[in-house]
Amino acid sequence: MTDKVREATGFQEQAGYDESIDLRTDFVMVYGLNDTTAERIGRWREAGYRVHLMTGISWGTYQDYLDGRWDGAGHWDDAQTTADGKPILHGESTDIPYMVPTFGFTEYLVQKLRPIIELGVEGIHLEEPEFWARAGYSESFKREWQAFFKEPWQPPHSTPEAHFRSGQLKQHLLSRSLDRVTSVLRDEALGQGREVHFYVPTHSLLNYTQWQIISPESRLRTLPSIDGAIAQVWTGTSRTPNVYDGKVAERTFETAYLEYGIAQDLTRGTDRRMWFLHDPIEDHPDRTWEDYLANYRRTLVASLLHPGVSRYEVAPWPHRIFNRPYLREGSTERELIPPDTATSYLIAMNSLRDLDQPDVRWAHEGPRVGIALSDTAMFQRWSPGGGEGGHYDGLQDALALEGRKQLHFSDFYGLALPPLYEGQRVAPVQLENVIDTPDALDDVDVLVLSYEFQKPLAPSIHYALAGWVNRGGSLLYVGNGADPYHEIRSWWTGRYDTCADHLAEALGADSTRDDVQPVGRGRVRFLAARPADFTEKPAELVAALRELAEAGGHTWQPTNWLAVQRGPYLIGAVLHGTHLVEGTYLDLLDPRLGVVHRRELGSGDLTWLRDLSYDDATLLASAGRIVNWHQDSASITYTCEAPRGITVTTALRLPTAPTTVTVDSHYDPETHLLHLTHPSSPTGTPVTITL
C-alpha cells in the first residue's frame, strides 16, 4: 500500500512483458537498445509501471559501432585489450568487448540513447562503467594516454607507477564518458519539456577492487547530471572467497555486509537516490535452488542491516528466476522454481517496500568502526610484471581456481573482518569523501587506515583527517611501508618516504611510536604491520582497536549477534556460536509466514522477523502487492497482485475470527492471525473478509 512515486522497489528485465515475471514493483528497468525497446517500454507501462531504460555504458550489443556500420569506420581499436593483443569480451560472448570510452564511442552512445527520451521514460540507467585492470594496450588507450599525461604510453605491466597511472586514466575516461552522455541528454530532455533522471548501477568499490576492475566510484558523487546509483551487490560478488583466521572460504554474508556498507557512500549525505540490488539467482547457472536461496538470504539480510537505505532493486532478470530450470540438491535433473521458494522470494520483495522506518535500534551500541577504502585501491590490484594473473568475474568456481591468492584482497579483509567478527558495527568509508563532505566521518568512532594497498590522491585528505581526530576521533594507521607503490610519482614523493609520513605531520604525531598518542580531543596510533597479516592472526588488530575505542570513552563488548530493529522489523545474523531469539514474531523468511516465539539460531543463521508486539497493524506481510485496501467495522476488502504461477500467502491480524473469507484461510485465536492463501494474478485477486 505504498506510493509508486518513491520508487521503493524495481527490477530490470530484457524480456518482453509476461505475467509470470510481473513482480508488481513500483518501476521496471527495460533493458537494452534494439528494435523492440519501444514496444517493451509501452507494454510494461500498460501494466501499470513507472518505466526506466537500462543499458551498458562499457559493453553491449554495439556491433554497428565496432564493424563500421555506424559511421563507415571500424572501431575494434576501441575494445579493451590485454598485453597479448586480445580484446576482453563480456561473459561468454565472442563479439561483445568491453569498450575504451573514447570520444567517438561516447558520441555513439549519445546518439543511440537520444530517441529514448521521446519514449517518456522516467529514468535512464547506464550500468557497469568498467575498465579491466589487465587492459590498457589498445591503440585508442595509447592515444588517450598521450593526451592525458603529455608523455608516451607506458605498458601498464612495466612498473607499479605505470600500472597506477593506467588506473587513473581508466577512471578519468569512464567518468568523462558518463558526464558527457548524461549532461547532453539531460539538456536535450529539458529542451523538450521532459525531466529524465540518470542513474549508474555499479558494483561496490570493494568488489571492483577485489575483481581487479576500475570504475568511477567516488567520482559519481561529483558528476552533476547523475541522480543516484544502484549498488550491484549479489551472491556472485559476495561469495568471492577471502581469508580469516587462516581459513580461505566463501563468506557471502560478511562480504555483502561490507559491500553494501561502502556502496552507501556513493550517495550518503546527498539528495541522490540509492537502491540496493538483490539477486535471487546469480550469473552462475549451475548451482542449485538451495544454494541460490541460502545465498540470496545472506545478501538480503546483509543489506537490511544498513538502515540508511530503504530502496531496492528486488531482482535482475526475473525471467531467469521464474522461467528457467536449475538443479536441486542431490539431483542431476533441472527443474523450475520450487513453489515454496517462489513464495518466499515474493514475500521478501513485497516486504521491502515497508523498510523506510524512522525508528532504528541497534542490538549492540558499541563503537562504530570505519575501514578507509580509496578509489586508488583499484589502481593497485594487478601485480605488474606478473602477466594477466588470471581472470575472475563470478562465473568460475573461485575456490577451485589455482594461484588466486591475490583475489582474496587480504589487505582489506585483514582490517575489516576482525572487528566484524567481534560483532562491532563495521562500515567501509570512501576515503575521498572526507575532502568535500564535512560529515563524512560523523558516524565513525574509530577509523582504520592503511596505505599498503591504496594511496591518498591529495594532501587535503590528511588535513581533513587531522581535523576529525582533533575533534575527538580515533585513528588507527596500519602499515610497514613495504608497498612498492609508495615510490610512484605523486605529491608526497621526493619529500616524504611514504604518504603516511605526511599523515603523521598533519596530525602532529610521531609515526615511529607504537602507542596511543593524543591529538587534540582525539587520538592516533601507528601500527607497523602488513594489513594482510591479520587475516591469519587477528588478535593484535582487535586489541589495538579496542584500546583506541576505550580511550575514546566507548565500551568494546564482543558479541556474536549483529542485529538491528527497523520499526517492527528485527533483522539479525549470528556470526559464530548461537543466539536465542524470544518474543512474538512473524517469520518473513518462511513461505508460510509462521509465528516464532523462541528460536535458537546457530552459527551463520540469519533472521528477518516482524515483531508482533511493536504495533497493532492489521496487514502484516504478503507475497503479493496489496492495493485498494479498505477496512471498516464490518469488513476488509483489498486486491492482491502477484506474478502468475505463485501461491500467495498473506498474514493479517484480527481480534476475532472472521465470519467469511473469499479465499482459503486459517485463523489462529491464540495469535489472532489470519493466514490466507490463493493462486496469484498480476491483474489482482479480489479478497473480501467479513468481520
Beta-strand runs (E) in 113-206: 123-127, 131-132, 197-202
Whether 643 and 688 have beta carbons less than 8 Å apart is answered as no
For residues 302, 49, 622 and 317, what is the CA-based torsion angle, rounded to 10 degrees?
-50
For residue 151, with 0-12 CB atoms within 10 Å meaning exposed, 13-18 middle and 19 or more buried, which class applies? exposed
Q: Where are the alpha helices (DSSP H) in 305-446?
A: 318-322, 339-351, 410-421, 433-436
Helix (H, G, I), strand (E, B) or coil at 448: strand
- What is the rounded distance in angstroms from the CA atom of residue 84 to the CA atom of residue 81? 8
- What is the rounded distance in angstroms from the CA atom of residue 461 to the CA atom of residue 434? 6
The one-character DSSP state at 281 is: S
Q: What is the pLDDT of residue 584?
A: 97
State the cell numbers at 368: 562504530
Neighbours of 120 (CB within 10 A): 12
Q: What is the pLDDT of residue 2?
A: 58
Q: What is the pLDDT of residue 407?
A: 87
Which stretch of DSSP H or E encloses residue 653? Answer: strand 647-653
State the cell numbers at 559: 558479541
Cα–Cα distances in Å, from 365 out to 361, 362, 559, 561, 564? 9, 6, 11, 12, 10
Sign of torsion, CA 71 72 78 81? positive
| Residue listed under C-alpha cell 587506515 | 449
**Among candidate residues 647, 645, 588, 654, the one with its CA nearest the CA of residue 616:** 654
Cα 22 to the center of its chain, rounded Å: 24
Q: What is the pLDDT of residue 386?
A: 46
State the cell numbers at 222: 561529483
Q: What is the pLDDT of residue 403?
A: 58
- What is the rounded distance in angstroms from the CA atom of residue 686 to the CA atom of residue 629? 10
As averages over each run of 10 residues, the pLDDT of the chain (691 residues) reads 86 97 98 95 97 95 92 93 93 86 96 94 97 96 98 95 97 98 97 96 97 97 97 96 95 98 96 97 95 98 98 98 96 96 98 98 95 98 57 70 78 98 97 93 97 97 98 98 95 94 98 96 98 97 98 96 98 98 98 98 98 97 98 97 97 97 97 97 97 94
Q: What is the pLDDT of residue 93?
A: 72
Sign of torsion, CA 33 38 40 45? positive
Number of alpha helices (DSSP H) and beta strands (DSSP E) in the chain: 16, 34
Q: What is the pLDDT of residue 389?
A: 47
